[in-house]
Amino acid sequence: MRLKGEVVKQVRRKRGLSQTALAEGICTQATISLMEKQNRIPKMNILTALCARLDVPVNQIIENDDISMTAFFDEITLMLVNHDYEGARKRLSRVKVKKLQNDFDKQHYYYLLGMLQVASNQIDEAIFNFELILMQFSTTSANIYLAMTTVGMALAYEKRGDTEKALQFVGRAIHLIDDRQLNGGKRQWIILYHEIADLYYRLGQYRQAISMAGRGIKICREEQTLFLLGSLYMTRGQAQAKLNQSDVARESLMVALSICKIIEDNVAQETVSKELSQLVE
């Protein structure tokens, strides 16, 4: 990653801020000077706070010079979403951890490794890798993988049968989302809300499942994407049905069914059709 110091300087001046004013309560004036003159990247929590004060997204002043690694990890993430665990495992095994260049790539790697371990019931190993991320990067990073890792912990404890801890960790994830300015792509946010909504549904927290599915649906609508949209509507409809909200449940499930037909997801179509038939009964 490379900091675009000249962009920081331009935005700061556009906002009418001196280096001292921008730094106040966040860092030293010298830190701002090093950023602008030498493209020095500060700690992520400082960078995030400065971007919030400048009212710009982090990716406006950070240039990722390792696009191929990010794209590689994104491919594995999609494999996990599609339950292609063997394919994801093979691709992740090609990564040489010692050669990862930055903390973001390390977080991404250990998150994916942990999720694969959850899928294969290696719960202790998964918790170890998730804790590694949360302990090492929680104070220096402000990207979406902090929340995704926390949800990973919740999934691990759900598989272990510890509902109390699963709810505790998913609650922490939502606090991270709501209280910190986490950086992440739109697709990552959709995946995150999808995971949380499904988890809440399985844990019997139907109102929370509806709320989290709604957040994911909102992003899909804004981005005009069908990515996981059918699944989000299905989870919302299932949760609404559990609360005896038959009319809105039917509406959600009908939307889910239409999307499943468009993307030709026959397995999901069968699931949604079954849910709809149970509503009629």
Q: Which residues of the chain have pLDDT under 50?
A: 67
Predicted local confidence at residue 70, as pLDDT: 77
**Are 52 and 74 members of one domain?**
no
CATH number assigned to the domain comprising residue 100? 1.25.40.10
**Are 9 and 53 members of one domain?**
yes
**Are 49 and 82 members of one domain?**
no
**Are 33 and 135 members of one domain?**
no
Boundary residue ending a domain (152, 177, 202) = 177
User: 80-132 pLDDT, tens per residue?
Assistant: 999 999 999 999 999 988 888 777 788 889 999 999 999 999 999 999 999 98
**Are 73 and 111 members of one domain?**
yes
Predicted local confidence at residue 208, as pLDDT: 98
**Are 148 and 234 members of one domain?**
no
Boundary residue ending a domain (140, 161, 177) = 177
Instruction: Tell me the pTM.
Output: 0.78
Question: What total of structural domains would you count in the chain?
Answer: 3
**Are 229 and 157 members of one domain?**
no
Predicted local confidence at residue 69, as pLDDT: 77
**Are 49 and 22 members of one domain?**
yes
* Per-residue three-class SS string for the chain: CEECHHHHHHHHHHCCCCHHHHHCCCCCHHHHHHHHHHCCCCCHHHHHHHHHHHCCCHHHHEECCCHHHHHHHHHHHHHHHCCCHHHHHHHHCCCCHHHCCCHHHHHHHHHHHHHHHHHCCCHHHHHHHHHHHHHHHCCCCCECHHHHHHHHHHHHHHHHCCHHHHHHHHHHHHHHHHHCCCECCHHHHHHHHHHHHHHHHHCCCHHHHHHHHHHHHHHHHHHCCCCCHHHHHHHHHHHHHHCCCHHHHHHHHHHHHHHHHHCCCHHHHHHHHHHHHHHHC
**Are 264 and 236 members of one domain?**
yes
Boundary residue ending a domain (32, 63, 94) = 63
Parent domain of 20:
2-63
